[in-house]
Amino acid sequence: MGRADTGIRESTEPGFLQIRSLEHLPIRHAFSTRKGGASAPPYHSLNLGLSVGDDPAAVRENRRRYFSALGLDPSRLVRVRQVHGSDVLVVDQTLAGRERFPRLLLDGDDSYDAMVTDIPHLNLAISTADCLPIFLVDPRRPAVGAVHAGWRSSVKGIARHTLRKMREAYGTDPSECYAAVGPGIRGCCYEVDEPVITPLQRAWSQWQACVKPAGEARWMLDLAQLNIAILEEEGLRPDRIFDTSLCTVCRSDLFYSYRAERPETGRMISLIALM
């Protein structure tokens, strides 16, 4: 399995990461960190999640700093209810023209773990605290996708479903696409047992390529390797897949990690938009 070299640009006030190798594309993207915010411990300091027990005023200030640093209009931030599933939302002009868009996506009963769009200046946002945020870019159409990849959605093939939805909606050719894998729990820290491995075995014949034994009925699972393998199977070129290779557990000084800090920890927001 190939993998492209990934140069990372880091901002600290507020904190976010960007991949230099994507800068030539007509997109804006960022993976937030926990640096440069207003929240007090244990949420220190750039917590962007309003539903984790943090002071709402601090979270609003954190979001203001983050969005302002990126030149982002908050009314163009598109978020969905994430449920570790495999459904992909196509954000088209009909949906974007509905009353109360984009707020209606969080207030309704529908849930998705990925979004795709070809509308410029719509910021597709993924919330994480160990799961992987994955971006997909079709520079020809152009179109973008944002994926929330925890173990359940990864095993269900959320990355594959997102690419296929882009092909269906926009005529995307995966061989022309770029992908970016953001910070998340990695194989060094993600110990799992039979309830995780059994669905993985059933879903993917090459499951052993993304795990290492960790004792009796225990394994270390590399979600990034799993999703990169899926992307390559779908036709992405290895030299167009960029992985930050950053573990949220190992680097809980820089990122929020539910596994390392539960039950009280914040949330990052990663986002991508066409320019």
Does residue 209 lie in a domain region?
no
Residue of 79, 133, 85 lying closest to 108 (CA atoms) = 79
Full pLDDT tens readout for the chain, 275 residues: 445 667 999 999 999 999 999 999 999 999 999 999 999 999 999 999 999 999 999 999 999 999 999 999 999 999 999 999 999 999 999 999 999 999 999 998 899 999 999 999 999 999 999 999 999 999 999 999 999 999 999 999 999 999 999 999 999 999 999 999 999 999 999 999 999 999 999 999 889 999 999 999 999 999 999 999 999 999 999 999 999 999 999 999 999 999 999 889 999 999 999 99
Q: β-strands 123-128, 77-78: how paired? A: parallel
Does residue 147 lie in a domain region?
yes
CATH code of the domain in which 243 resides: 3.60.140.10
Residue type, 113: D
Does residue 212 lie in a domain region?
no
Does residue 191 lie in a domain region?
no
Residue type, 216: E
Does residue 38 lie in a domain region?
yes
- 28, β-bridge pairs: 273
Does residue 149 lie in a domain region?
yes
Q: β-strands 241-243, 178-181: how paired? A: parallel
**Tally of domains in the chain:** 1
* DSSP letter, residue 193: -
Does residue 227 lie in a domain region?
no
The whole domain housing 268 covers 8-185+237-274
Does residue 210 lie in a domain region?
no
pTM for the full predicted model: 0.96
